[in-house]
Amino acid sequence: MLWYKGWLETRFRILLMLFYAVFPIPLFTLAVPAPNPAHPASLAAVAGTVGFFGFYYSIIPLMLAGSGIKTQADLHPRKGLHGSMYFTLSLPVSRFRLFATRAGLGMLMVAGVLAIAPTAAWIIFPSLRMHITGSDLFAYWVTFSVCTSAFYFLGVLLSTFLDDIWQNWTSMFGLVFLWWLLSRPFLPPSVNIFRAMGESSPLFTHTFPWASMGISLGVAAILFLAALRVVQTREY
């Protein structure tokens, strides 16, 4: 029942995120022209475009992070608490189960959207298939899903004590700040999650960026435990 309830609350939001993910795919034509033996598509151009969309798609986990154990409106962000939140809290299940189910459903949605958009681009544009194999695309999806888990659980944590409007704005600011911080030269490239989703992704290195993926999973676990602690101790 909890999974179905979460789906009813987020079904329109995931459709919006699918549109958000697929709509800009034609922009690939600016950097990845149709195959031409005399002028093959530049691998650097492909890498630059993948890096841009890596940051662009990082917004999706923030938008699908949900509202913790609070009932969520379908599309319209709102201040304060949803009217049926107390019904949710009165269900005969623990707050841990409420929270873990909602967080798990949102992460599955993120993985689904991140699988559809790159695969659609790979199928539509033959130029991408000149450089990227199906196995590389699968490895990229795994890497992308793991790396964005840190962004997702940042949104989950913020959802435990902020309303929808402040959660969205704070998440966006945090994402931009994190991108700026990780790109500083005093940090090793292996900690740059955005780089792992771009030029250092399996699409070009043909291997997993294990360090970046491990850091992302560690941060995601810490954020989840912190969010769970807030949920279990907060008086709604």
Tell me the per-residue pLDDT of 36-88, one tens digit each, with 9 for 90 and over. Answer: 544 445 566 666 777 777 888 888 888 887 655 665 555 555 555 555 666 66
Structural domain tally of the chain? Answer: 1
Tell me the CB-side half-sphere exposure of residue 127, using CA atoms within 13 A: 21
Q: How far apart are CA 104 and CA 169, in angstroms?
A: 23
- Say what the pLDDT of residue 39 is: 46
Is the pLDDT higher at 25 or at 187? Answer: 187
- Quick one: tokens of 98? 């409420």
- Say what the pLDDT of residue 70 is: 63
Tell me the per-residue pLDDT of 143-182, one tens digit each, with 9 for 90 and over. Answer: 999 999 999 999 889 888 887 778 888 888 988 898 888 8
* Alpha helix ranges (H) inside 23-163: 28-31, 43-57, 59-63, 85-89, 95-124, 126-131, 134-147, 149-159
- Say what the pLDDT of residue 130 is: 74
CB count, 10 Å around CB of 176?
Answer: 12
- Quick one: tokens of 233? 């101790």
CB count, 10 Å around CB of 211?
Answer: 15
**72, amino acid identity:** Q
pLDDT at 224 over 90: yes
Question: Looking up tokens 């993985």, which residue turns up?
Answer: 111
Question: Looking up tokens 């189960």, which residue turns up?
Answer: 97
| Residue 169 structural domain | 2-233
Q: How far apart are CA 231 and CA 236, in angstroms?
A: 9
Q: What is the mean pLDDT of residues 82-106?
A: 75
Is the pLDDT higher at 156 or at 1? Answer: 156
